[in-house]
Amino acid sequence: PAKSVSGPAASGGKYKAGTSQKRVQSRSSKAGLQFPVGRVHRYLKRETLSTTRVGAKAAVYTAAVLEYLVAEVLELAGNAARDLKSKRISPRHLQLAIRGDDELDMLVKATIAGGGVIPHIHKQLLEKGKKSTQG
């Protein structure tokens, strides 16, 4: 003889039947970003002075800028990889992409490990070589 249970315990859950539970949404998804807004906010708070306050919009803006820069570099590096008939993006492709774009070249001053050098032959060397072969 099983007893029938009535009341709040009948649904067997924490919430009453019929009430909808609100879905938790991350700040990244609210902003329409792939980069983690919460993590960026935590890093901003950690790196600033203890007396400085960091607003919520600052983290969203910073994450959006970072996402844009990464997308730009990856697009150019993907094009460089495809031009060299490779399916993977290597440090060489990143180097070619960053040094090939004037704005990214100004922004990224770092040396890319395994990136190699940009192919460049000075104009005067080319002209001298042409004159000697013709004459």
Report percent pLDDT > 70 for the chain: 79
What does the pLDDT read at residue 96?
A: 93
- C-alpha 85/C-alpha 73 separation (Å) is 18
DSSP H helices in 12-111: 27-31, 37-47, 56-83, 91-100, 102-107
What does the pLDDT read at residue 28?
A: 92
Residue 22 confidence (pLDDT) above 70: yes
Backbone angles phi, psi at 31, to 5 degrees: -85, -10
Q: Across 23-27, 63-67, 111-115, which has the greatest mean pLDDT?
A: 63-67
Q: Find the mean pLDDT for residues 64-89.
A: 95
What does the pLDDT read at residue 132?
A: 52
Structure tokens at 25: 């949404």
Q: Find the mean pLDDT for residues 10-17.
A: 60
What does the pLDDT read at residue 125?
A: 87
